[in-house]
Amino acid sequence: MATSEENSGLFPIFILTILAIPLVPYTILKLCRAASKKAKPIHCDCSVCSRSGKYRKSIFKRLSNLSTCSNMTLVLLWVVMGVLVYYIKHISREIQVFDPFTILGLESGASDSEIKKAYRKLSILYHPDKNPDPDANKYFVESISKAYQALTDPISRENFEKYGHPDGRQGFQMGIALPQFLLNFDGASGGILLLWIVGVCILLPLIIAVVYLSRSSKYTGNYVMHQTLSAYYYFMKPSLAPSKVMDVFIKAAEYMEIPVRRSDAEPLQKLFVVVRSELNLDLKNIKQEQAKFWKQHPALVKTELLIQAHLTRDTAALSPDLQRDFKRVLELAPRLLEELMKMAVIPRTAQGHGWLRPAVGVVELSQCIIQAVPLSAKKAGGGSPEGNAPFFQLPHFSEAVIKKIARKKVRSFQDLRDMTFQDRDELLSQVAGFTAADVQDVERVLEMMPSLTVDITCETEGEEGIQEGDVVTVQAWVTVKRGNGLIGALPHAPYYPFHKEENYWFLLADPNLNNVWFSQKVIFMDEAAAVTTASKAIEESMEGSGASPKETSKGVREAVEKVKAGSRLVIGKFQAPAEGNYNLTSYLLCDSWLGCDKKTSVKVKVLKRTRAGTRGAHMTEDGPIAEDGAEEEEENEEEEYDEDYESEYSEDEEDTRETNNKGAANENGRHSDSESSESEED
């Protein structure tokens, strides 16, 4: 029975150990993450963002940020651990090792007379005839009498002095650290023990496995439904115009699960009237177009109307139920757009290329959603290929303001950015009628906007040129500069109700053929991960090229310095195509800002593979070069869609077909010349 009680006393220690093993490291990890957060604000502090309340640090908001499920669970588990520690400390006083000398109040090695004298004194205090207290009676029988018997019996005393126990040497014992009532097999306790073992050892792991498998079978690692990815993959087309990307985007299974209530019918009808001009309806057959629109699945209609209401900034009249659905739609948007982007650049062709046109359309839609700018505002006009859309992301700007500054020959957003502070202040205050506070808000946003540069190379590692079938390594250093000196920052997005980090997409593409050769997502918020990635990539590249350890170490240090200065390394591989000169374009697209994207021309010359394996070929003398302005416009002209607006990066399909036909004719001519020369030699 004593052994059973001792094992039962170990049960709290067992539970405490099981809790402490995962809880202590997880707590340390969370504290380290909290301590590593920069104190410097990385969000916009203009008056518009301040009024939105998204970054307001009120007491309620701080408490709501702290009272998350994970934090509350963490605190609860620490409270349970504290209770267990107190309980263990309390029962440790009750469960003591049997020591007869200590019980009788004697020192070890006391004589028989001293033992009898101490026993008589304790008998006067605890004997049942002298003290009627039940606890005193229990202590006298279980402790005092047992200790006196152990010390007066010669054999018991000898065993205690030699082995520390009156019964002699004790063998190795094993027990179960379970509560006492579970170890008592009399009555129903045996069944309780069986149920406890079955529940903890079988049912609990089974339930966890079922929940995990059911969720993993429904969602991907990015918490997007597999059904959504299937729909995106099916509806994604190579000729998908940017204006049609919305139709694919709203077909996500997550949006289909948003409830459509009867009470939503009237508010949605009113919302339809407000945003009707943004729905790409054919005005010649407006009645048929409206009927066709309302015949869609109700969830699709609701989702598109809510998104269009956000783009046109007409959400104040939404009912409370629609406001909740509206926030849910916007909360899911960045995650779904990222997966839609992956479906656009996933290898589709025989050469393993993705599609450029829909990829650009996805990024444009993301920019408009984050900045709450209508898609129609991207229609080219006024001397700007990107339309008026970039102006609308600035605070206090409207159509009237844009028309006023256009009279001063500020027709593009880049013209406004290139102006000096004094000229811009004079323009906005005198022409647009801005106050000093309004001008300061504009300057703060412009300081937050990134300026991008790209340094890109394409080469075959260990060789002097690129030949057919080579594995070509793309290496690009992407650099971000801001007026306020920040590297990673949250964009100015007062109308988007959630925190959104900037993400960039690097695409190496052939705009004439609508092919994406290589793509990669670039993040500037996580500097530690960027340092690790760049160091590892540079080290592997230099070791593969035969560099010495000293040179490799120097290259890694330079890469780390570049990352800390605001650059990120993009590195990847693709297989070289057939022999020829390829005019590619690298696109660096931001998913949060309008008018900040960067295009760079890259010329790649692929030589015919030599039979003997000698590599005497060289890349074009210019190498991968960056071109801007007129040269870029001459090579890549904008495509004229029949849709409502044009994409900034769209290409002319007719020019593409003519270029391909000319290339094929030139290729045939080269083949015929080669055959005629061979016949002359024969």
| DSSP letter assigned to residue 430 | I
Written as one letter, the residue type at 25 is P
Predicted confidence at residue 455, as pLDDT, reads: 94
Predicted confidence at residue 355, as pLDDT, reads: 94
At residue 178's C-alpha, the angle toward residues 177 and 182, to 5°, is 150
Q: Does pLDDT of 424 surpass 70? A: yes
Find the length of the chain. 682
Predicted confidence at residue 621, as pLDDT, reads: 34
Per-residue pLDDT of 117-148, as tens digits, reads: 888 888 888 888 888 888 888 888 878 888 88
Predicted confidence at residue 649, as pLDDT, reads: 43
Q: Above pLDDT 90, what percent of the chain?
A: 40
Give 41's pLDDT tier (boundaries 50, 70, 90).
low
Sole residue written with tokens 């960067």: 598
Lowest mean pLDDT among 58-72, 523-537, 615-629, 656-670: 615-629
Structure token pair of residue 487: 């590297």
Residues 6+ apart with CB under 8 A from 14: 177
Phi and psi at residue 435, in whole multiples of 5°?
-80, 170
Where would I find the H helices in 10-68?
11-36, 47-52, 59-66
Per-residue pLDDT of 380-405, as tens digits, reads: 665 667 788 999 999 999 999 999 99
Per-residue pLDDT of 306-323, as tens digits, reads: 999 999 999 888 999 999
Alpha-carbon radius of gyration of the chain: 38
Q: Which of 90-99, 108-117, 158-167, 455-464 has the highest mean pLDDT?
A: 455-464
The distance in angstroms from the start CA to the end CA of the chain is 109
| Residues facing 510 on adjacent strands | 515
Q: Which of 9-18, 200-209, 533-542, 608-617 has the highest mean pLDDT?
A: 533-542
What is the average per-residue pLDDT within 176-185? 56
Per-residue pLDDT of 188-233, as tens digits, reads: 555 666 677 777 788 888 888 887 777 777 888 788 999 999 999 9
Q: Where are the beta strands (DSSP E) in 403-502?
A: 451-459, 471-481
Alpha-carbon distances of 26 from 19, 22, 29, 38, 64, rounded to whole Å: 11, 6, 5, 21, 21
Q: Does pLDDT of 443 surpass 90? A: yes
Spatial separation of the C-alpha atoms in residues 520 and 183, rounded to whole Å: 60
| DSSP letter assigned to residue 278 | G
Q: Does pLDDT of 639 surpass 80? A: no
For the chain, the 3-state helix, strand and coil shares in percent, each to the nearest 5, are 55, 10, 35
Spatial separation of the C-alpha atoms in residues 235 and 216, rounded to whole Å: 24
Q: Are 545 and 627 in contact (CB under 8 A)?
A: no
What is the average per-residue pLDDT within 275-279? 88
Lowest mean pLDDT among 151-155, 261-265, 470-474: 151-155
Collapsed DSSP state (helix, strand, coil) of residue 464? coil
Where would I find the H helices in 282-355?
286-294, 298-311, 320-345
Average of per-residue pLDDT values in the chain: 80
Spatial separation of the C-alpha atoms in residues 280 and 287, rounded to whole Å: 13
Alpha-carbon distances of 565 from 28, 338, 353, rounded to whole Å: 30, 27, 33
Lowest mean pLDDT among 24-38, 61-75, 159-173: 159-173
What is the average per-residue pLDDT within 282-292? 85
Give 177's pLDDT tier (boundaries 50, 70, 90).
low
Where would I find the H helices in 219-311?
226-235, 245-249, 253-256, 265-275, 286-294, 298-311
Give 340's pLDDT tier (boundaries 50, 70, 90).
very high
Spatial separation of the C-alpha atoms in residues 176 and 180, rounded to whole Å: 10
Collapsed DSSP state (helix, strand, coil) of residue 457? strand
pTM over 0.75: no
Per-residue pLDDT of 581-598, as tens digits, reads: 999 999 999 999 999 999
Predicted confidence at residue 164, as pLDDT, reads: 66
**DSSP for 559-586?**
HHHHHHTTEEEEEEEEE--SSEEEEEEE
Per-residue pLDDT of 4-20, as tens digits, reads: 445 556 677 778 888 88
Alpha-carbon distances of 263 from 141, 274, 307, 321, rounded to whole Å: 79, 19, 19, 9
Spatial separation of the C-alpha atoms in residues 73 and 572, rounded to whole Å: 42
Structure token pair of residue 290: 């409206």
Q: Does pLDDT of 508 surpass 70? A: yes
Residue 659 or residue 399, greater confidence: 399
**Half-sphere exposure for 2 (CA within 13 Å, toward CB):** 7
Sole residue written with tokens 């006023």: 404
Q: Does pLDDT of 637 surpass 50? A: no
Lowest mean pLDDT among 74-78, 121-125, 454-458, 621-625: 621-625
Q: Are 582 and 603 in contact (CB under 8 A)?
A: yes
- 38 exposed, middle or buried (CB, 10 Å; 0-12, 13-18, 19+)? exposed
Going by their DSSP bridges, the two strands 580-590 and 471-481 should be labelled as unpaired
Predicted confidence at residue 92, as pLDDT, reads: 58
At residue 461's C-alpha, the angle toward residues 507 and 504, to 5°, is 20
